Structures are given as structure tokens and as C-alpha cells.
Amino acid sequence: MNTRQEVLDFVKNGHTRFLPHLSIDCVIFGYHAHQLKILLIRHHGHEKWSLPGGYIARDETLTQAAHRILAEKTQITDLFLQQFYVFGDSVVRMSRIETQQTHNTTFAKVGVTLGDNHWLSERTLSIGYYALVDYLDVVVTPEFLVDGFCWLEIKEIPPLEYDHNEIIAKALATLRSQIYQQPIGYSLLPEKFTLPEIHALYETILGKQFDRRNFRKKLLTLGLIRQLDEQKRIGPHRSPFLYEFDLENYRKALEEGSVLAF
């Protein structure tokens, strides 16, 4: 929502377009130069940061809604997106008063105070999705009710609004678990990359180190990557071979859940 009128229309009539009580929160993991960060936003009137998210239109599937929300926030349409959990048991989600107060702080910018029976005051369940991007490719779209945004490394995440620390923790645990079943590097690496670059990606996400030779052997055995007859010129005596993803095998691995055991 980019204008005051759009916000007012959403508050008044949003329940006719969107499903009340059901929203999507997006954990956008951004990777670049051996760093894994998360995109956070700050709503008007709030001191704490929160995750970007939105509501689900009545004529959308869940995945369509998640892609739309991410495109609206980041201007990226082609990315790795995964549903991972449903959140609804936290104190803030169970409490009408806390929900109402949180929304009223934000909507004060347009002079709106929600009543007890307003659709936005009701308990809302959140479906968590995580996305993987190179954060240098992200162009965050300004919004009327959002005062700022930032990228923070995992270890730097402060206490957030709502239950968003819990959502991030669950997203990271799911990502680290699924990285062994799903090849994820295609969304985060250049078209041509070196073995140290893809090795660093997996080590950064998993937060641990593993043997580079076994790593290369496993990826080649599964047919996920192939070595090119090209080398990357880094410096004197340093010209590692370049690799690329085998897209056919990559998509097959995504569908079948190939297991990576390093």
C-alpha cells in the first residue's frame, strides 16, 4: 500500500478482498559474499522490526499470495520459495487486545482506530514462507506504513514484533534441514561459479564446515553441477575451474528431494 487512500480502503474493505484471520509472513534470506542476512521492516510508530508479510486474496492460492507479496516487497518474481509452518499460538496472536493495539499504533498514521469488532482486530494465523535471494538483487519497495527496512545477519537479529523471532528460528531450522534434500544454490549464485563459492554458500547456511572434496564429489555424482572448460582468473597461480548447474537434473532433484550427505 503506497498511499493514504489505499490504506483507508484496506482498513474499510479489505475483508471483502482478503481472507480475514489468515496471513503470510515471509522470511527472506539474502546471501552475498559469505553472509546470510534477513530482510526486516519497521512499521510506522513501532520501535521493533518485523518480517514483511500480507494477507491472502480470496481468489489466490497460498503460493500465489506468497509470490505476490514478495514481488510487491522486493520486485523479484523468480525465486526459491518454500512454505514451512503455521503460527497461531503465541500470546500476541491469542490476545485481541494486543493485536488491536499493535494495529492501532501503525494505522495512527492515517488517523484510524480499530474497534473491537473490526476484522483486523481478530486473531490471525500466519503461514510462514521462506525465500532465498541474493540481497544485492533486491529493490525494496517503499510503503506508506513502513518507515524503514534493513538487512541483518542471523546472529544480529534483535527482539522483533509479534512472534517473528520464533518464525525466523523455525525458518532457519527448516532451511538447514531441507538443504540436504533440495539443491538451493541456483537462486543465490551467479550463472557460473567456482567450487569454493558454492562450498562457502552451504557452509554459511549450515553454520559449519565440511570436507570440500566430498562436497564436490556428491554434487557431481548427483549431476547437480557440471565443470566447464573455463577458469576464473583470480590472481597469479589462482585460476579455479568454473561450474554451472545442470538445470534438468537440478529441477529433477527439487521434485524428488535428492539427499545431500556430506
DSSP string for residues in 2-39: -SHHHHHHHHHHHHHHEEEEEEEEEEEEEEETTEEEEE
In one-letter notation, the amino acid at residue 120 is: L
In percent, how much of the chain has pLDDT > 70? 96
Name the CA dihedral angle for 85, 88, 92, 95, rounded to a multiple of 10 degrees.
Answer: 170
pLDDT tens, 211-220?
A: 888 888 888 8
pLDDT at 170 over 60: yes
pLDDT band of residue 260 (cuts 50, 70, 90) is: low
Q: What is the mean pLDDT of residues 40-59?
A: 96
**pLDDT score at 191:** 86
Spell out the domain ranges in the chain: 4-178, 185-256
Please report the pLDDT score of residue 259 as a whole number: 57
What would the CATH number be for the domain defined by 185-256?
1.10.10.10
Of 154, 222, 236, 232, the closest CA to residue 196 belongs to 232
Superfamily of 4-178 according to CATH = Nucleoside Triphosphate Pyrophosphohydrolase (3.90.79.10)
Whether the pLDDT of residue 91 is over 90: the answer is no
